[in-house]
Amino acid sequence: MSEIHDGRLLDRRPLTERTVRITLGAASLVGVMVRPAQDIEMLLETDSGVWVKRRYTIRHARPEAGEWDVDVVLHAGVGPGNRWARNAETGSRARFAGPCGKLEPRSAARHLFVGDLASLPAIAALTEALPPAQRATAIVQVESAADRLPLAAETRWLVRPDGSVDAADQVLGAVRTLPEPDGFGQVYVLGESRTVRSVRGLLEERGVTRKRIFAKAYWKMQDALPAGDPS
């Protein structure tokens, strides 16, 4: 089990209208090394006094300072994760566990990343960590062009405003246009559960072996409706 850290929220700043970067600090983080796209588990208290866990990607780690940055996507709902990300004040107490996560990037000449707004921080961390000789291609679905963030990859952005098209169908359509998907040495499919399953199946049909695919569901569509806060 990952160590639980008792720290403070050091900074909170918007990256886009829907994404904020929160900096957490704790003495116990000094010297702790983090792999790209590992997570934290925030320990948050609900209105009824029950403690729950919410996972967020560690975007940057500064082990010499004992600081971690996490990028959090804001939602319209009132769940504990969303409430914390919107309202937590600088200096407030923060309890969290980490680093968590089993993803270990493998060496490959070409990498493919398929994801959405929820997995964008992980994709950003992974592509940023690749050696210069390794190339990255990304397909990322967002709700607005304003959700886009810089990526160290050749990126195709899929804009899906107001749920106007089926999420899985839009991503599958983009993956189908890849000329030689079996040419990617490593593939990462990260995002909504049904979309992840569908994309993995399509890639396998097109010659990508399962051992080259790392697939992880970050959220489920039914969990986002009607409450609107999967986090």
CATH code of the domain containing 144: 3.40.50.80
* Whether residues 132 and 215 fall in one domain: yes
The residue out of 71, 100, 129 marking a domain boundary is 100
Cis-peptide into 99, omega within 30 deg: yes
User: Rounded to whole angstroms, how far apart are CA atoms 155 and 146?
Assistant: 15
Report pLDDT for 108: 96
**Is residue 75 located within the same domain as residue 156?**
no
Are 68 and 125 within one domain? no
In this structure, the answer to whether residues 77 and 8 fall within a common structural domain is yes
105: in domain: no
Q: Give the residue numbers spanning the domain of 156.
A: 110-224
| Domain assignment present for 229 | no
Report if residue 230 sits inside a domain: no
My answer on whether 161 and 71 are in the same domain is: no
Distance CA 54, CA 209 (A): 32
Question: Where among 45, 75, 100 does a domain terminate?
Answer: 100
Report yes or no: 139 and 156 within 8 Å, Cβ to Cβ: yes
Q: Are residues 84 and 163 in the same domain?
A: no
pLDDT at 122: 97
Give the pLDDT of the chain (231 residues) as one tens digit per residue: 689 999 999 999 999 999 999 999 999 999 999 999 999 999 999 888 899 999 999 999 999 999 999 999 998 777 899 999 999 999 999 999 999 998 888 899 999 999 999 999 999 999 999 999 999 999 999 999 999 999 999 999 999 877 677 899 999 999 999 999 889 999 999 999 999 999 999 999 999 999 999 999 999 986 653 333 334
CATH number for position 10: 2.40.30.10
The C-alpha atoms of residue 140 and residue 6 are separated, in whole angstroms, by 34
Q: Which of 65, 100, 135 is the last residue of a domain?
A: 100
Number of domains forming the structure of the chain = 2
- Whole-model pTM: value is 0.92
